[in-house]
Amino acid sequence: YLKISKLALAFAIIHSKPPGRSCKEYTEHLAKTVSEQDIGWRSKVEALEAEVLRLRQELLLNKICPRFCLENGASAETLLDQECINPMSYSSQLEDSGCDVSNDYAFDSLGILSGFHQSEHNVSTSKHWLERVPPLNLCCTNKEESLTAPVQFLQHLLEIRKLSEGGILQADFTKLENDSFTMCNSVSQLLDGLTVFYNSPKFPVSNLLTEAVCVLISLITDTKLSNHVLKKCFKKLEEFKKNLIQIILRNSGVNRFQALHAVSQMLVLLGRNNILRNSLISLLLSEIRQFAEQLLQAYQIQAMYDITQYENIFPLCMILEQLLQNETEECNGSSSDHDREEKVEFLKNLDQIILHLSDEFPLFTLYLWRVSVLLNAAQIQ
């Protein structure tokens, strides 16, 4: 049937081609015309899907907290005036120096640390948060603008959570259980947008991206909302962590260190959630163990090794060390069986690796030893 269809199409093109134009030229012209129409329809479909998601987000927020469901019938503006809640402010952003991130303010190169800590004390909100979310520009000119919708929705969700906790609003978060689509798509859009940025970061970072990071971290560390997010979006968060790790390992740019530091701090912030931290530790242990084994094999046969990947493994070692320190301090003992297996696998041949590589790669083996000390301390506890 397919062969007959192709043959019929060929005859139709031959019979309908205008004079003075070859069949090949006419076929290419038709293909280009159809392709342009397809692109136009695809953009319209994407715009409509974005509008549908925005409406679903608004509907879900209204189900969780109806606009006028306030105690004593007071208006939202009056109650918010009484609270005197200030919007979140952001730290100044540093220009990309290309190399030096050793100072104490390196984390602020993304404006994330100070913004996030301040967001823990101040609820980012507005008097008009209960009003209709304004329609988005559906023809986004860049990937950053695609973050606007999920950031707005998740911000409103966090605002409702804070205000309901303070007794200002009545909210029913069980409604989140009945609408996994909206939550999953919103978090997925947020993670995809952040992944695009971390793949090719531009400094200084815009407030929208800084805000997106703060919203994500607030979401996964919130005692009530984090359970809903992890239940529905755990696989997407795992994919996001794996992508960030690969971004660190594969980055070969000359002035890459500020970008690597930004990705590293994002992973550390994700580790604030115990469940995500356990799986992140497992991923890091696996990557570092595989690299150490490959490095040992290359050293034993005097083969070449990837010096860029060797340099990039150190941020992973530092992330792992910090996460293990946090785990040891908390002493929650919540590691899964899979995590324990990965830790045992990591420690199994570690002494031999350190022994053989210590002369040639002293800094790397020092990090391996420090990680092993933290792992053993955690096992003893």
- What's the pTM? 0.73
Q: Identify the weakest region by mean pLDDT among 54-68, 81-95, 99-113, 175-189.
A: 81-95
308: in domain: yes
Tokens linked to 23: 């069949």
pLDDT of residue 216: 94
- The string of DSSP letters for 200-261 reads S--SSPPHHHHHHHHHHHHHHHSTTHHHHHHHHHHHHHHHHHHHHHHHHHH---TT-HHHHH
Tokens linked to 63: 């189900």
Long-range contacts of 329-338 (CB under 8 A, 24+ apart): 330/274, 331/381, 332/274, 333/381, 334/274, 334/275, 334/278, 335/278, 335/378, 336/278, 338/282
pLDDT of residue 307: 93
End residue of a domain, out of 251, 272, 293: 272
pLDDT band at 144 (very low <50, low <70, confident <90, very high): low
pLDDT per residue over 323-333, tens digit each? 999 888 876 65
Q: Identify the weakest region by mean pLDDT among 16-25, 109-118, 333-342.
A: 109-118
Buried b (16+ CB within 10 A) or exposed e, 66-105: eeeebeeeeebeebbeeeebeebebbebbebeeeebeeee
Instruction: Provide the 8-state DSSP code for 46.
Output: H
Q: Which of 278, 283, 289 is nearest to 372 (CA)?
A: 289
pLDDT of residue 377: 81
Element (H, E) at 96: none
End residue of a domain, out of 247, 272, 297: 272
Whether residue 30 is predicted with pLDDT greater than 50 in this model: the reply is yes
Claim to verify: residue 189 and residue 238 sit in the same structural domain: yes
Q: What is the mean pLDDT of residues 195-202?
A: 90
Percent of the chain at pLDDT > 90 equals: 45
pLDDT of residue 142: 56
Quick check: 87 and 115 in contact, CB under 8 A? no
pLDDT band at 136 (very low <50, low <70, confident <90, very high): very low
Q: Give the integer Cα–Cα distance in Å for 283 and 290.
A: 11
Q: What is the mean pLDDT of residues 332-361?
A: 83
pLDDT of residue 340: 81
Q: What is the mean pLDDT of residues 152-174?
A: 88
Whether residue 87 is predicted with pLDDT greater than 50 in this model: the reply is no
Residue 61 CA, chain-centre distance (Å), reads 23
pLDDT of residue 198: 93
42: in domain: no
Domain assignment of residue 316, given as a range: 277-380
Q: Give the integer Cα–Cα distance in Å for 123 and 159.
A: 7
pLDDT of residue 237: 95
Q: What is the mean pLDDT of the chain?
A: 80
Claim to verify: residue 283 and residue 268 sit in the same structural domain: no
Q: Is 132 helix (H, G, I), strand (E, B) or coil?
A: coil
Whether residue 13 is predicted with pLDDT greater than 60 in this model: the reply is yes
pLDDT of residue 128: 41
pLDDT of residue 223: 86
Claim to verify: residue 313 and residue 245 sit in the same structural domain: no
Q: What is the mean pLDDT of residues 193-199?
A: 92
Claim to verify: residue 285 and residue 357 sit in the same structural domain: yes
Claim to verify: residue 183 and residue 263 sit in the same structural domain: yes
Claim to verify: residue 228 and residue 297 sit in the same structural domain: no
End-to-end CA gap in the chain: 69
333: in domain: yes
Claim to verify: residue 293 and residue 334 sit in the same structural domain: yes
Q: Identify the weakest region by mean pLDDT among 99-108, 209-218, 231-240.
A: 99-108
pLDDT per residue over 301-318, tens digit each? 999 988 999 999 999 999
